[in-house]
Structure 1
Amino acid sequence: MTTSTRLEAGQPAPEFTLTDQDGSPVSLGDYAGDKVIVYFYPAASTPGCTTEACDFRDNINSLKSAGYTVLGISKDAAPALKKFQTEQGLNFPLLSDPDLTVHNAYGAYGEKSLYGKTVTGTIRSTFAVDEAGAITLPLYNVKATGHVASLRKKLGIDA
């Protein structure tokens, strides 16, 4: 398995339409003219992904005040996403990408190191997209803990 091509700053963000936790379609194009943070996580309700999602939840106001909408994407089905959203009180859409089309378009699926072994799976990644739909900040292999604070610093967003 080869790692999909990684995106770089300045490239157009790949367009997508996915189903959210409620079964409704959500497209990146729905946010044209807005800034968006698209993040990929391996699996709903797992410890690292819960830490990361709650970090976004707890920092959503500072991100919103800087003009960002947050979209979380995993390969989980809508019912698992709904359960995750409800249990953790998540205040942003969770999108289902079961066939990994969007993961691959963003370079967020491929070989990674897990506990010292090389495995194939979701690469924890985050992308900031500007109002024109271009990637302004591509981040791969991010850590679940402290990620949003690091992201805010890189984007120049105060707490």
Structure 2
Amino acid sequence: MMAELVEGAKAPAFKLAASGGREVSSAALKGKPYLLYFYPKADTPGCTTQACGVQEALPQLGKLGLTVIGVSPDALPPIEKFAKKYGLDFPLASDPEHKLADAYGTWVEKSMYGRQYMGMERSSFLIGADGKVAKIWRKVKPAEHAAQVLEAAKAL
């Protein structure tokens, strides 16, 4: 078990394949603020609400110079399908071995109907241009997410 990531800590480095044939990496974002948001599964109700909210906020987030990257344990084909279906312009990255999720502490034990299993916690991390974690949201409420991010991004 890794130490929990805290605000002010250096953001873990990453490099992942993403929707639209893109590759996203912390190296490419050096000196720029970005949001990494972890979601459990493409095209499920909560994840769709969250992704569409982020997509709607993209113009405002873009004005603030913020790059947004969604991360899930899904393979790229379902991610591509999800992105196309909802017209999601921002990259959705595939983290099938949950290496990035582990680094951010979002691959956690969950329980449903009394069954314990490992899964993705819906969490977001706002990373400042200095490469440090500026804000952390755990157990994100999909409908409120974009507004919270916008508010925090203005403060960067």
Say whether the 8 Å CA contact 1:37–1:126 is kept in structure 2: yes
Say whether the 8 Å CA contact 1:23–1:78 is kept in structure 2: no
**TM-score normalized with structure 2 length:** 0.91
**Corresponding position of 2:25:** 27
Partner SS state of residue 47, structure 2: helix
Identity, % of aligned positions = 38
Deviation at 1:153, TM superposition (A): 2.6
- The correspondence for 1:18, drawn from 13, 16, 19, is 16
> In the alignment, does 2:46 pair up with 1:48?
yes
Runs of 4+ in 1 over 4 A off after TM superposition: 113-119
- The correspondence for 2:91, drawn from 90, 93, 105, is 93
Deviation at 1:139, TM superposition (A): 1.2
Q: In 1, Cα distance between the equivalents of 2:77 and 2:63?
A: 30
Say whether the 8 Å CA contact 1:40–1:103 is kept in structure 2: yes
**Paired AA for residue 60 in structure 2:** S
**Corresponding position of 1:148:** 146
**Paired AA for residue 102 in structure 1:** L
Partner SS state of residue 20, structure 2: coil
Q: Number of residues paired by the alignment?
A: 155
Deviation at 1:7, TM superposition (A): 1.0
**Paired AA for residue 148 in structure 1:** A
Q: In 2, Cα distance between the equivalents of 1:144 and 1:152?
A: 14
**TM-score normalized with structure 1 length:** 0.89
- The correspondence for 1:68, drawn from 63, 66, 77, is 66
Cα 1:108–1:87 shift into 2, 3 Å: same
Partner SS state of residue 60, structure 2: helix
